Structure 1
Amino acid sequence: MSRARILPAAVARFLARRPQVRLTIVEGSRAELVEPLRSGVIDVMVGALRDPLTEPDLAQHRLFDDVPAFYARDGHPLASTDPAGADMARFPFTLAPPGTPLRDSFEGYFNDLGLPLPSVPIESGSVMMIRQVLMGTDFITLLSSDQVAVEVEAGWLRRLAPLPGRFARTIGMTTRTSLLPSEVQKEFLADLKDAAADCGTHDN
């Protein structure tokens, strides 16, 4: 999710000082990236932090807090309403897989309302896939505003309702506890922190 604002801002800031450095950015789910992180193929992973973190060989560093929201296509039956949880529960969802922070928030939201969990016929960690599903159906999803900012600005998707603030998730950096960063790596990690501070917390 960090690719929307934080990571590009950090990369631009960093390369303005270090134009000779080459960066490799690998996109994927946490499950796909955690082993390359452990083995040293990648040096830092940016995304939703785990609470509690049960992996002693990894260290987490907070960047900002994010409150996700429910989204659907423009023209969805709920698009011009102020839907309650019971209204959204009538529709199918496309979501990240079980065990991810977004999925936990989705389940916690409907459980707190005492509602049965809505159907989730399509599970995907790809925002591109979720976007395409939403645009052609009446599915709903739960994502960060930054993940679909372009689609909302283009008028393809619309925010239906935010999650309550208690479901905020922490976005940050995960590194190996054994990592001894070089000066160049320290600069980039500092740029990530500065970019997050400049963008501020998300006004979902």
Structure 2
Amino acid sequence: MKILGMNSSPRGERSQTLRLVRAALDGARSEGAEVELVDVCKLRIEYCNACGVCYAKGECTHKDDFNQVYKKILECDGFIIGSPNYFRSVTAQLKTLIDRMADAVHCQLLLGKYGCAVATAGGQAYDEVLDYLSRIIVGFGASYVGGAGGAPAIPGSMEEAEKKARDLGADLVRAISEGRRYPEQDKVHEEMKSRFKALVSMNRDVWTHEYEYWKSKGWL
């Protein structure tokens, strides 16, 4: 089983978010998973310009580092996303990565995968990031196992968050092994499939790659 951890804090080894991503990976490793850490901020990822080439051809026109992390996301069984709260959302580096994954949303390429999130903030506002990431993870088709957050400025908060992150990583592996279902999330997955079935069908003459993918899955 492969678990991918993605840290999107630009603070390198000083990052408290990295501390939580590593704790979650440690938890996953303790359950027998193979783990890998990716520092999103060390990658050169260009902005999505909404050209639509990925919809038509299944590839991106940008020649950068996006594909190396995207391939890892598509090949892993589960993933952990970490971000500090930057003005009530994730970092720009992570948002840039997410925006480049539009084809994955249209084709629901993360169906069957499981994800979780960790976040940090100056106060309790890490919940804003966890809520955002939970919606992103489910929106891509994956099942959201849970989140863990901490506030470095609050004494004892990071120690508690680190323990929670480690438990979360272990639970992520168990969820994958069990094929755990989340009925409320399954409803969202069905809604997303219904929405994009209509959208891809309507644009089948232009979004040829996506139309053929949907046909190959038997969804059309």
Q: TM-score when scaled to structure 1?
A: 0.27
Higher helix share: 2
Q: TM-score when scaled to structure 2?
A: 0.26
Higher relative contact order (Cα pairs below 8 Å, separated by 6+ residues): 1
